[in-house]
Amino acid sequence: MIFSSIFFIFAFLPIVLLIYYLMPFKLKNLVLLIVSLIFYAWGEPIYVILMIFSIAINFVSGIELEYLMENGEMQKAKYACITTVVINLLILGFYKYYGFLLENLNAILPFDISYTQLALPIGISFYTFQTMSYVIDVYKGKVEAQHNPVTFGAYVSMFPQLIAGPIVRYSDVEKQLQRRIFSVERFGDGVMWFLQGLGKKVLIANNMGSVYESVMALGASQTSVLTAWIGCFAYTMQIYFDFGGYSDMAIGLGKMLGFDFMKNFDYPYTAKSITEFWRRWHISLSSWFKEYVYIPLGGNRGGTAQAIRNLMIVWGLTGLWHGAAWNFIFWGLYYGIILIIEKYILKEAMEKLPSIVQHIYTLVLVMFGWVLFCSPSLGRAASYMGTMLGIGGAGFADATALYYLKSTFLLGTFAAVASTPVIHKRFSEWIKAREVYKRAFCIAMYVVIFVISTAYLVNATYNPFLYFRF
């Protein structure tokens, strides 16, 4: 089930909210657990068992760690923690990377190992990372082990962030799982987040996505430089508003249920360097890797050479996290290399440049990155980049490019503006303004977003979620 569907908004959500609010607080986590399992089973009737298994293992492991540590058996605790992390990684590896691994092994080995690639359980990359952070944090003494299986289950399976993040760390919601504040205002705040995310997803991302798909369907001989850039721009907008919209909806739903999740995006396309871009893009993932991979590896404490090694490991893994394919790994390494160059070579030189140059530099690198990311193969990525640079395409611009320009200009411009804080800043001022008309305007805008999004959802012919694959 996805949030941006008629069924979710007009059937699942109202029923869930009704039950959730009718129950006394003591039972709210149980309700949350049950509806989340239903939500998950809706799309993955079989794999819900895998998730319950994962919850059980990590729950027991947390208690075991606590017990061992209380008895001073630190060595045993360390092994127990490593074992659980390895089990988590094995589950993830088996369902996500097994086929990819064997495919590559078969390419080098003189004989073939036959395999069947299983369907990827939705959200497994997200919830596995959450449970791992929990076990590690318990081992490090950052959080206490959770003794109530319902509470722990509710944390792992919580439906707003279950299938596409943000990767909520246990330490961030530990207190909220025990106690949370409900109020109509908070709910209203959640509604605004949800509608904002819905609009981003349904109105901007889906429409930009259909432009991108249409451009991708053209042959190389029909693609001019301008068309290629429009296609790349469309994808750049699609992926941000798709994923960002989903995160907004998750945050909004969280608020309706009384939770506060961290924000996952902070206007990434306004960054002036790739380093800054990754502080603003998918924040919960990059901070997870920083905390649980980069720092444990020694970070930059062991000198330049070691820091570079660690960065490459982290970014190779970040790429791999996005999917079991070489283009994702290269995409991660691409960023690893750029980040190293920025850190050790360009840093001071860049700051002296005019900020417009820094913006362009960042955006161009990010856009080329997306080509690598979205292409079905490395060869296709290379040829598409070639077209963008004027190699092998159909000239600089043609009638088709103008057609795309005309039919995406309005929405594309709006999307570009909306990917900066200007609109949101004005909105958050107006929503708290003393003048009635300003507040009324904001409310009216949310109503308009809701109504038009509903119209698009009723017609849903194109409504994918990019981050479902991860």
Written as one letter, the residue type at 30 is: L
Q: Does 11 bind another protein (CB under 8 A)?
A: yes
- Integer CA distances (angstroms), 345 to 149, 213, 399, 455, in order: 50, 37, 43, 51
Q: Does 460 bind another protein (CB under 8 A)?
A: yes
Q: Alpha-carbon distance 387 to 226, whole Å?
A: 9
Alpha helices of 117-205 — where are they, by DSSP H? 124-139, 149-157, 159-162, 170-178, 184-199
Q: How far is the CB of 268 from another protein (least distance, A)?
A: 24
Q: Does 434 bind another protein (CB under 8 A)?
A: yes
**Closer CB to another protein, 207 or 247, in the complex:** 207
76, 304 Cβ separation under 8 angstroms: no
Q: Does 398 bind another protein (CB under 8 A)?
A: yes
Give the residue carrying structure tokens 């490593």.
82
Q: Does 399 bind another protein (CB under 8 A)?
A: yes
Q: How far is the CB of 425 from another protein (least distance, A)?
A: 16
Q: Does 459 bind another protein (CB under 8 A)?
A: yes
* Total residues interacting with another protein, rule: CB under 8 A: 61
3-state DSSP helix/strand/coil % of the chain, to nearest 5? 75, 0, 25
Touching another protein, residues 34-53 (CB under 8 A): 42-43, 45
Neighbours of 290 (CB within 10 A): 13
Touching another protein, residues 171-200 (CB under 8 A): 184-189, 191-192, 194-195
Would you give the distance in Å from CA 427 to the centre of its chain? 25
DSSP 331-352: HHHHHHHHHHHIIIIIHHHHHH
Backbone angles phi, psi at 293, to 5 degrees: -125, -55
Examine the residue annotation and report whether 147 is marked as an active-site residue of this protein: no
Question: How would you class 108 by CB atoms within 10 Å of its CB: exposed for 0-12, middle for 13-18, buried for 19 or more?
Answer: exposed
Listed ranges 50-58, 302-310, 343-351, 433-441: which one lies at the site for another protein (CB under 8 A): 433-441
In Å, the largest CA–CA distance within the chain is 75
Q: Does 7 bind another protein (CB under 8 A)?
A: yes
Listed ranges 101-109, 232-240, 374-382, 448-456: which one lies at the site for another protein (CB under 8 A): 448-456
For residue 37, give the 3-state DSSP assignment: helix
Q: How far is the CB of 217 from another protein (least distance, A)?
A: 7
Q: Return the residue of 5, 83, 270, 300 that touches another protein, per CB under 8 A.
A: 5
Q: Alpha-carbon distance 199 to 216, whole Å?
A: 24
Alpha helices of 290-421 — where are they, by DSSP H? 304-321, 326-341, 347-352, 355-374, 378-388, 399-418
Q: Does 115 bind another protein (CB under 8 A)?
A: no
Q: Return the residue of 222, 304, 377, 420 that touches another protein, per CB under 8 A.
A: 222
From the list 147, 282, 322, 424, the catalytic residue is: 322
Q: Return the residue of 217, 305, 349, 356 that touches another protein, per CB under 8 A.
A: 217
**Closer CB to another protein, 132 or 457, in the complex:** 457
Q: Does 119 bind another protein (CB under 8 A)?
A: no
Q: Does 437 bind another protein (CB under 8 A)?
A: no
Q: Return the residue of 218, 293, 337, 363 that touches another protein, per CB under 8 A.
A: 218
Q: Alpha-carbon distance 326 to 216, whole Å?
A: 20
For the annotated catalytic residues, the residue numbers are 322
Residues making contact with another protein (CB under 8 A): 1, 5-7, 9-11, 13-14, 17, 42-43, 45, 184-189, 191-192, 194-195, 207, 214, 217-218, 222, 398-404, 406-411, 431-434, 439, 442-443, 446-447, 450-452, 454-461
